[in-house]
Amino acid sequence: MASSLGSCVSSLRSTNALLSSSISILDNGHFELLPESSLHTAQSQLLGTLTPELESLLNRISTHLDKLERREQALIARSELLEGRIGEERRASAASGGWGARGSGGLGKGREPSSVGMKGESKEALRLKQARAKKERLSYAVERLTLQAQQRERQLRMSIAAT
């Protein structure tokens, strides 16, 4: 029985030592609790520090996205303009009979049709054909100018929106 009481006493002493060390750890402040007001103050300071930085980053991202959008619209407008020019060139070459027809004996600007170059067409039919070609060139020029004006309007709207 003395041995069982001795083991109980030693167990009690070790438990007491463990309890004492636990109390000293808690007293040293390792597990110190903060008051709620201190926690809110720290949160507001952190929020005050991070908010301007986040807003700055978001503004930079927004500005960059606006620039990319303007660039995309400018490239789309340029593409449309170039497509219009390519289409105009193709139509002009088809109307004149090919790419080399302008410089080699064909009718150019300000030239009158000669009797040799007419090949069965009357002068009136040739004038009508020239007038149609001129009308077509002018309509494409108007279309091109319209596209350029639309592009400049977009750029102006984007620059106004950016400021």
The residue ranges of every structural domain in the chain are: 48-96+121-163
Please give the Cα distance from 158 to 163 (Å, whole number).
9
DSSP 30-99: TTPPPPHHHHHHHHHHHHHHHHHHHHHHHHHHHHHHHHHHHHHHHHHHHHHHHHHHHHHHHHHHHHHTSG
- Other C-beta atoms lying within 10 Å of the C-beta of residue 74: 14
Distance CA 70, CA 139 (A): 28
pLDDT digits (tens, 9 = 90+) for 89-112: 788 777 776 544 444 444 444 444
Residues of the chain with pLDDT under 50: 99-118
Angle ∠(138,144,145) on CA atoms, nearest 5: 90
**What is the pLDDT, as a whole number, of residue 157?**
81
> What pTM, to 2 d.p., does this model score?
0.36
Percent of the chain clearing pLDDT 90 (strictly above): 13
What does the pLDDT read at residue 138? Answer: 86
The predicted pLDDT at position 4 comes to 74
